[in-house]
């Protein structure tokens, strides 16, 4: 049985293309894993600002800062000038 050369070349090219795609996906997954590991090594443990677990002292400081900011915003003309 005769198999044309172009069929074999096409099969070989598709195999090489699939291998390139697999390697590309492996690199993408590796970079995502490295980024996840680096985020988890952060102090916050990779959590966003809203999800971050805060200590009591930090919460008290944040509340004091927001109260000070609210006090400074109170003017006889409202929160904005003009």
Question: Domain extents for the chain?
Answer: 5-71
Banded pLDDT at 38 (limits 50, 70, 90): confident
Residue burial 25-49, b: 16+ Cβ < 10 Å; e: rest:
eeeeeeeeeeeeeeeeeeeeeeeee
- Mean pLDDT of the residues in the chain: 78
16-28 per-position pLDDT tens digit: 999 999 999 999 9
Higher pLDDT, 37 or 19: 19
- Cα–Cα distance between 28 and 34 in angstroms, integer? 10
């Amino acid at each position: 049985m005769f198999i044309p050369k172009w069929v074999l070349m096409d099969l070989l090219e598709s195999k090489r293309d699939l291998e390139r795609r697999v390697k590309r996906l492996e690199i993408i997954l590796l970079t995502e894993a490295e980024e996840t590991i680096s985020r988890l090594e952060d102090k916050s443990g990779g959590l966003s600002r809203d999800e971050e677990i805060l200590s009591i002292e930090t919460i008290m400081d944040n509340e004091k800062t927001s109260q000070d900011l609210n006090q400074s915003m109170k003017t006889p003309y409202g929160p904005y000038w003009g």
